[in-house]
Amino acid sequence: MAAFVFALLTAFVAQASPAPVPKASPAPAPKASPAPGPEASPVPAPEPPDEAPASPEGSPVPSAAMPPPPGVQFQPPLENGACLDSIRAVPNVLEGPSSRGMQIVRIDQVVSTATMLPGEVIGFLYTTQDGSTWLGQRTKDYQSAAGATAINRVLGAAHVAGSDVSEFPPTSLYGVPTKRQQLFRVQMPASEYATLRIALVPCVIWPSTRPLPDPPT
């Protein structure tokens, strides 16, 4: 009997005691994903600097040369001989006495830039080996009246000091050659071309690397 009562009490106590509550393990915290930052706008690449157009070989195209006077087209100069109707030729002697210093090494066309004569060749400028420059007019068959006036104006303004020549003398009188001087020494700095209303166009240039022939004796 006592054993029966003890068993009932044990069962009653077991039912009354609360069951142990298992410890809850903390739930893993969700990983915080980084907040998306503002999208960076793409930085444009710097534009390459402007360059001159390249030639077929890849080298820059040279800048355009100065334009010729109106109505005139530049041509590669000759290396010897006369220029158009010039009365002297490269590398002949300009005038006696014959010497290497008086050999002609260059002939330029004197071109008018005046409004009424644009591009007209009105004369020739001869350069000798000694560096002096001489002015000559065109021959009668190729010289207009306006061209003659223009080249006389150049001669009157550019003749060297000590010379009082102001115009070219006639080459003939009543059909008879006068045999008077037709080439006059002048000084024509480039700064005066605009005032004289002229331009110089290279026509014949003796190569500087080639020795001059001996002048005639």
With bands split at pLDDT 50, 70 and 90, how would you rate the model's confidence at 15?
low
Highest-confidence segment of 6-15, 19-28, 120-129: 120-129
Provide the pLDDT confidence category of residue 2 given band limits of 50, 70 and 90.
low
Distance of alpha carbon 135 from alpha carbon 110, whole angstroms: 9
Task: Tell which wins on pLDDT, 56 or 190.
Answer: 190
Tell me what pLDDT residue 63 has: 33
Sign of the torsion angle spanned by Cα atoms 72, 75, 79, 80: negative
What pLDDT shows up at residue 28?
A: 53
3-class SS string, 6-40: HHHHHHHHHHHCCCCCCCCCCCCCCCCCCCCCCCC
Structure tokens at 129: 């080996």
What are the tens digits of pLDDT across the range 158-186?
999 888 888 999 888 888 888 899 999 99
Tell me the pTM.
Answer: 0.67
CA distance 16 to 63: 111
Contacts of 205 (CB under 8 A, 6+ apart): 77, 78, 79, 90, 105, 106
The answer on pLDDT for 10 being more than 70 is no
- Residue holding tokens 């402007």? 50
Are 148 and 137 spatial neighbours (Cβ–Cβ below 8 Å)? yes
Report percent pLDDT > 90 for the chain: 53
Q: 25: which residues sit within 8 A by CB, 6+ positions away?
A: none
Instruction: Check residue 69 and report its DSSP letter.
Output: P
Q: According to the model, what pLDDT value does residue 8 have?
A: 54
Average of per-residue pLDDT across 192-211: 95
pLDDT reported for residue 52: 40
pLDDT tens-digit map of 29-80: 555 555 555 454 555 555 544 444 443 333 333 333 345 566 566 689 999 9
- Confidence at residue 132, expressed as pLDDT on a 0 to 100 scale: 97
Contacts of 63 (CB under 8 A, 6+ apart): 52
Q: For residue 70, is the peptide bond before it cis, meaning its omega torsion is within 30 degrees of 0?
A: no
Question: How high is the mean pLDDT of the chain?
Answer: 78
Nearest to 111 by CA among 189, 197, 192: 197
What's the rounded Cα separation, in Å, for the pair 172 and 170? 5
What is the rounded CA–CA span in Å between residue 101 and residue 185? 14
Whether the predicted pLDDT of 156 surpasses 70 = yes
Please choose, from the candidates 209, 205, 212, 202, the residue with its C-alpha nearest in 3D space to the C-alpha of residue 79. Answer: 205
**What pLDDT is stored for residue 68 in this prediction?**
59
